[in-house]
């Protein structure tokens, strides 16, 4: 008997209409009541709706009538931004098919190709679709786009569907294609349970909640289950599906996507990519042969490193707990304990990009009311020492003494940019300003070109994406991967506030950009720091050399109107002199307190 289940994802470049298409599917299948419906329904976090982007994968179960049959459609909505590509790769392991969506007004973009490559690696059935056909566009461009997509996917141009996620045109036909073309999962309830953990969350009452794709067997409420990798046992306190809210059903069968609430309070015991097995089941018909774990996921490699320190030392444990819970819901987040002399005890975080960093910081603030001190983001460098040893450098504080350092190597990326022809010169200039070198340039359509380039990763992860969007009026797209390590002309740039070095502002930068960055940093600090009762010098330095300096003048105290209407001005002059001497003493011993938000404001202004 053929399974009446279809598991699929929607994958596309950012802003090509994935979330809107998911909305129309929810409406057509009546998964969500009209009174509860809102746009971007599957984007559950306020942060996602505010930014207009998908950050977290989100599964949902829909019931769809196709002819005389009623089928279960499990959709996993995925992010489109390059920083969250790991969310896409995890989603693909839980499904049998993918809708590859392309905006007709923008055409094939870099992340379209990157996601297509991931889908093809997984061996999934691909349904290509062109979105936003309700907008004005060239018929010739549509024809060329469908032809190009058919070549990439391996189908006929007429098999590329035309839809409008906004109006709903063609969406029912797309759902029909999902039913007809995407293979049903293999179903065998009589095998021992094997379920893949493709995501997880934490609930204060239910503990760790594992998001599962059941591959073999079934899991029922009250079953004793085991997480293979961590050798952790738990009870299935609640078993259910995503509607998209957690909806208890009491069981999950082979081929289905759902969740199990475990009651586990330690978030680190439930790992994405682990296999869930059954120790003692309510179902007595299970076979008892030895069970092999499912293939997991390749661990994501962080590309951005940053240190988080609690704004108050007493909140260290709270920050550790919050990061642990975030990691449960964000498997690409890496963190370990870190201690610095000035900033105290904190954590070193590894992330997939600066947008990922902003999201983590914002979630800590909103969900856990924590506003940590955030150091300047950096990439991993490698220091070659005089004894031949290779040392990893995650932050400026890891740099060895100058007399032991032979050279400092930095990671370089091999990148691809897809852009309209008219923006070629501006993009080539941007690549050059980013210490990069442009390579082959090829046409992918009459109006678009593909630019290959190499550049230092440190230049790409900070603000290259924003500048690329600016110089191309939003039309260019980017994908990249680390290719090799090269010797860099790099220096440590320090910032001194009132003659004290502030480690959180230190960064490793290219020598040619150090003077500009140093000047920009102290000027931004002067703009955002409040006045003290004494003058505060702000300096940027490379080693013992000061390369930029500004001073925040002392706040002035009003001394009255001596000297006016016949008063004695000499008394006022004496008080001024006394105040000046007091400020001089304070500048030697006074301390400038920096709010946690200052560090991130400086980073955003100087990235």
Residues contributing to the annotated binding site for GTP: 15-20, 131-134
User: Cβ(528)–Cβ(592) under 8 Å?
Assistant: no
| Alpha carbons 131 and 136: distance in angstroms, whole number | 12
| Alpha carbons 254 and 214: distance in angstroms, whole number | 5
User: Cβ(565)–Cβ(571) under 8 Å?
Assistant: no
CA distances from 335 to 307, 350, 356, 381, 504 (A): 9, 6, 14, 18, 17
| Alpha carbons 16 and 164: distance in angstroms, whole number | 11
| Alpha carbons 491 and 407: distance in angstroms, whole number | 11
| Alpha carbons 600 and 373: distance in angstroms, whole number | 8
| Alpha carbons 309 and 176: distance in angstroms, whole number | 52
β strands within 352-404, DSSP E: 373-374, 381-385, 390-393
User: Cβ(490)–Cβ(410) under 8 Å?
Assistant: yes
For residue 168, count CB atoms less than 10 angstroms from its CB and return exposed for 0-12, middle for 13-18, buried for 19 or more.
middle
Q: Which residue has the tokens 């002059």?
A: 573
For helices 354-368 and 316-329, give the axis angle rounded to 10 degrees: 120
Adjacent-strand bridge partners of 390? 384
Q: Which residue has the tokens 């707990």?
A: 321
Q: Choose among 31, 123, 34, 120: nearest CA to 77.
A: 31
Sign of the torsion angle spanned by Cα atoms 282, 283, 284, 289? negative
| Alpha carbons 335 and 306: distance in angstroms, whole number | 10
Adjacent-strand bridge partners of 76? 9, 59
368: Cβ contacts below 8 Å, ≥ 6 apart? 318, 322, 325
Token output for 375: 């150091």
Q: Which residues are annotated as a binding site?
A: 15-20, 131-134
Half-sphere exposure of 270 (CA within 13 A, CB side): 33
User: Cβ(465)–Cβ(434) under 8 Å?
Assistant: no
| Alpha carbons 500 and 274: distance in angstroms, whole number | 48
Task: Give SS3 for 158.
Answer: helix
Half-sphere exposure of 337 (CA within 13 A, CB side): 7
Q: Choose among 404, 330, 408: nearest CA to 367.
A: 330
Continuous segment of H or E residues that includes residue 226:
strand 224-227
| Alpha carbons 40 and 51: distance in angstroms, whole number | 11
| Alpha carbons 257 and 182: distance in angstroms, whole number | 16
User: Cβ(51)–Cβ(356) under 8 Å?
Assistant: no
Backbone angles phi, psi at 213, to 5 degrees: -110, 115
């Amino acid at each position: 008997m053929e399974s009446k289940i279809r598991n699929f994802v929607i994958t596309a470049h950012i802003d090509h209409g994935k979330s809107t298409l998911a909305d129309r599917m929810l409406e057509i299948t009546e998964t969500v009541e009209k009174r509860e419906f809102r746009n971007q329904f599957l984007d559950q976090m306020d942060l996602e709706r505010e930014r207009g982007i998908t950050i977290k994968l989100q599964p949902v179960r829909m019931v769809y009538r196709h002819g005389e049959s009623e089928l279960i459609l499990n959709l996993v909505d995925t992010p489109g931004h390059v920083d969250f590509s790991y969310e896409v790769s995890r989603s693909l392991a839980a499904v049998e098919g993918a809708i590859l969506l392309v905006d007709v007004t923008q055409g094939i973009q870099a992340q379209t190709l990157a996601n297509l490559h991931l889908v093809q690696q997984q061996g999934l059935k691909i349904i290509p679709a062109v979105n936003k056909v309700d907008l004005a566009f060239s018929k010739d461009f549509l024809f060329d786009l469908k032809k190009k997509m058919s070549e990439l996917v391996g189908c006929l141009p007429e098999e590329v569907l035309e839809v409008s996620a906004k109006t709903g045109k063609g969406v029912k036909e797309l759902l029909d294609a999902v039913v007809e073309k995407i293979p049903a999962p293999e179903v065998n309830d009589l095998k021992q349970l094997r379920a893949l953990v493709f995501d997880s969350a934490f609930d204060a009452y239910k503990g760790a909640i594992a998001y599962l794709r059941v591959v073999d067997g079934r899991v029922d409420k009250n079953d004793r289950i085991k997480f293979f990798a961590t050798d952790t046992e738990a009870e299935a306190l609640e078993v259910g599906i995503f509607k998209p809210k957690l909806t208890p059903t009491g069981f999950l069968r082979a081929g289905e996507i759902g969740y199990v609430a475990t009651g586990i309070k330690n978030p680190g015991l439930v790992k994405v990519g682990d296999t869930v097995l059954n120790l003692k089941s309510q179902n007595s018909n299970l076979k008892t042969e030895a069970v092999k774990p499912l293939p997991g996921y390749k661990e994501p490699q962080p590309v951005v490193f940053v240190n988080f320190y609690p704004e108050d030392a007493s909140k260290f444990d709270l920050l550790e707990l919050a990061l642990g819970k975030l990691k449960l819901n964000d498997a690409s987040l890496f963190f370990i304990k870190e201690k610095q002399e000035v900033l105290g005890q904190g954590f070193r975080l590894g992330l997939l990009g600066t947008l990922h960093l902003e999201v983590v910081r914002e979630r800590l603030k909103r969900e856990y009311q924590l506003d940590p001190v955030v150091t300047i983001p950096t990439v991993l460098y490698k220091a070659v020492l005089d004894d031949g040893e290779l040392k990893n450098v995650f932050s400026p504080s890891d740099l060895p003494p100058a007399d032991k350092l032979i050279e400092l190597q930095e990671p370089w990326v091999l990148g691809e940019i897809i852009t309209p022809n008219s923006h070629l010169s501006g993009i080539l200039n941007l690549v050059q300003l980013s210490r990069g070198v442009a390579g082959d340039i090829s046409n992918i359509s009459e109006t678009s070109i593909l630019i290959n380039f190499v550049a230092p990763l440190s230049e790409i992860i900070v603000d290259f994406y924003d500048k690329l969007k600016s110089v191309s009026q939003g039309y260019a797209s980017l994908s990249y991967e680390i290719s090799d390590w090269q010797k860099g002309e790099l220096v440590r740039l320090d910032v001194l506030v009132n003659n004290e070095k502030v480690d959180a502002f230190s960064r490793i930068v290219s020598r040619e950009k150090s003077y500009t960055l140093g000047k920009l940093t102290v000027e931004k600090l002067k703009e955002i720091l409040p006045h003290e009762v004494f003058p505060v010098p702000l300096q940027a330095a490379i080693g013992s050399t000061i390369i930029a300096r500004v001073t925040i003048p002392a706040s002035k105290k009003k001394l009255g109107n001596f000297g006016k209407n016949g008063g004695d001005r000499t008394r006022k002059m004496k008080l001024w002199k006394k105040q000046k001497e007091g400020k001089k003493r304070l500048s030697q011993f006074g301390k400038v307190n920096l709010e946690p938000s200052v560090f991130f404001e400086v980073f955003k202004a100087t990235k």
